[in-house]
Structure 1
């Protein structure tokens, strides 16, 4: 009888944990470097959280502060009308943040959140209400979106971008002329073109007219525009923000006069 009980438990254990075996195999092929050319893995529904949230959120906050300090030190940004400043910040803070993560070489580890099936909840006599409350309070993000971020970080690191290149890239991203609702669109377009021209001249001088590098970097910049800002906010900043929104924090940081001024 004991043998039968053990056998039944083994079967039940395998059924309930079958999904974990497939996830482990999936994880082997979902590293940022591997997934670039392999889209067969269905990871859209997988959710992740930071493995070390306190340390990583602290580093992320430092990156965001440095990014906003860069913007504050740009006189050309404050020559743009107030309404346009808001649009530029709200639409471009996420790619600017990821670029800052790349410059500061901030990497981070993830922990996957497994959502138990309805059958598993019933068999384990788990409270569905309590489980739903736990799920809604989890500081999680889409595995697919986070892997996209990590993949871009690795590409920037592979190129070994210099500090001057990062500065020009921030200007290109900040003055994104794709925001057609801007009141002063021609001026913003001019600022972006100037940043692109400065980057091209720098690369031409430092890398023996290797304009292939220039084209590759611009391609990465275009990829940054597809980053999900909500995923970044939930993953890196929700523990700090609580119920507040990051847009409020961004504006307060940009337009609050420092004590030492």
Structure 2
């Protein structure tokens, strides 16, 4: 988790600990009551129903080093795809769909395999009191800064949680390879022209993973089921958050999707 001030939920401070809140609402609480509120579990950022983490924006604490490692992971991911003849046996339209929908989970899986961890720092936003004093529009400020200040803490924390779960499993190189095949040939993309072929490739990767786990872990298929659950969670990772966090400092205004396709020699008519 993020160390320091990022651990505290700003919603908790606004509701319980904010000086401005106490002044505006004329709350006069005893010392014991304030102490009890400080120990409240709502101060943890993971509590459900709290939109604080969605509003808080973060950037990398050491962008130069982390972006370099992230770029290396992306290049290794592309190299893995390029070395799969079966990928280039599908029409380029299907290649396009598979890359656009699956590059983000493949990238996170690569981050897990390379054990790339990263620290964050929160981007400070103007306080509500400052906005009131400067007569700034809350809505206008949100529209201006919500997408340009970096990804939300909620999205990045979701990715970090998945990385830790993969590290706890201590997957082997072969397991990572099978997982990449399962993710790349995602048969959930129903718009594919060669859907039966892609389904077959994914089933083969799943079968190979199951047989490997059965052989190496004495037929303990609970590990196989747990890994498949993690794969499903990878699909929930926001690709835009990944691009904003790891590649926006490098790409500038360029689009990562286009660069990925060019690197894989996929040449749709609009490139």
TM-score range, shorter chain: 0.7 to 0.9
- Are the counterparts in 2 of residues 139 and 235 from structure 1 also a CA contact under 8 Å? no
Q: CA deviation at 1:95?
A: 0.2
- Tell me whether 1:94 sits opposite 2:104 in the alignment: yes
Aligned to 1:54: 64
Structure 2 residue 260 is matched with structure 1 residue 250? yes
Change (3 A) 1:201 1:176: same
Shift in Å, 1:136: 6.9
1:190 aligned residue (200, 211, 214): 200
Match of 2:151 among 132, 138, 141: 141
2:54 is equivalent to residue 39 of structure 1: no
CA RMSD of aligned residues (A): 2.8
Q: CA deviation at 1:137?
A: 8.3
Q: Does 1:109 align with 2:119?
A: yes
Q: What is aligned with 1:181?
A: 191
- Kept in 1: contact 2:123–2:149 (CA 8 A): no
SS at match of 1:49: strand
TM-score, structure 2 normalization: 0.77
What is the rounded CA distance, in whole Å, between the counterparts of 1:221 and 1:88 in structure 2?
15
Structure 1 segments (4+ residues) deviating >6 Å: 25-28, 131-134
Q: What corresponds to 1:75 in structure 2?
A: 85
Match of 1:224 in 2: 234
1:113-139 residue CA offsets vs partner (Å, 9 max, x unmatched): 23213531454799x9xx889947855
CA displacement 1:65-120 (0-9 Å, x = unmatched): 00000000000000111110000000000000000000000001111123213531
Gapped regions of structure 2 (runs ≥ 5): 1-17, 24-36, 267-271
Q: Return the alpha-carbon distance in structure 2 between the equivalents of residues 218 and 58 of structure 1.
A: 29
Q: Is the 8 A contact 2:57 2:149 kept in 1?
A: no
Map of 1:84 onto structure 2: 94
Q: Which runs of 5+ in 1 are unaligned?
A: 1-12, 257-261
Q: Which residue of 1 aligns with 2:217?
A: 207
Partner of 2:14: none
Please state how far the C-alpha of 1:193 moved relative to its aligned partner.
0.1
CA contact (8 A) 1:176 1:192 kept: yes
1:138 and 1:27 map into 2 onto residues whose CA distance is: 28
1:29 equivalent to 2:38? Answer: no
Relative to the length of structure 1, the TM-score reads 0.80
